[in-house]
Chain A
């Protein structure tokens, strides 16, 4: 009688021989072959971003979901690197934290020999690095399960915003959003900037307002979002402004009473 329930129901070693652990790099004491991430665990939802005439604004809420469970409500998903580059991360939070470590050591490495401090990595460089990193990991079939938006300035010092996802696919636009935001926020953002180059006509106030509107709409309709969020404003010639614990303003839930089975409306 085999008393270990985990060994029940499998081929008998005496008859079929022991499991060959060399198959698929299985560890000697491990029941499983080596596995890579096949799905995200704790996740962050949309990151949204917009360019305006003097810079870039990025925003992301503070929730870390475990499936449909609101597991964490204090996750910071906007990472700063250097003086004026911000990376907004959605997707798997543990992978996001790994990315944060990569970015930290990158920043450290940069500063070691930079005697004059005039060769700082710009957002373009950080984006290229992340693109190569994510593409490399997907090519190993071991992805970092994230979609990122990098905001800051390009080589010429002009506003820069570009996105990259777990496959290493990257694209830039004056209006970007990951996840649910790609469906819900992008149309609102594109109302403010109908054509890519027209971001130069947008003021900081306009950009900020539309980001706040988007965060509200996302909170209304994205079940994995929350009403507490962070926002970063990157502006030419100024230190970047990092606002935490912002709350979605002007919420209006009156529409709910008309939804059958939700508010007071009768079946």
Chain B
């Protein structure tokens, strides 16, 4: 079986389905069509299934978790956001979130599509269970932060749309959006902590040092600090609502910089990843 070809088909099918879902979500918003919203959600689920199959096929073909080079990680990152979106949409049942999640997913999967898709054998240092755990937890963490960013963006827009009946009906009230964003940050923060811990264990075994202030590590830590500040501000200053939403968006910008910016703009041992 030609794994790469099968994977490519699933990958581009997912890409197309995400794009179609995004358009339908926009239609849902623009024309206030409930039907479009329903189909958009179905397409999103279909995209997720196809995307999962793409990753599984790649994993089988490569004989390892598909989580190592830029393409694989970008694709998994988009997958993680979709997974977290589906989980949160199931838990808090509101579809409108998709209109904000799909553009984020689409940008990342487009970035993935531009990367070299060849399967390469791993150098020995990268063949580690801890590293696999490190990257898997990163996907969930980044996915949750992505959801919190999307929900916060909705929060910020909702304020401007207070007159719209459609928004009132389809988008939960601000308090709830704020709460969902907080829960998503909590999940993301727990997983980001796991990312740091598993990464440290891996670095200790592979390089003999569990923390070396390499730029990627440092940026993951910066992200961790930013979200820690977010969590404390909520408690101490009751910074909920708008300021919290802005903070969640900044936090996600940090996540994206850690993931893409550091590799391209700053040097370090993570550069080959």
- The answer to whether A and B interact is no
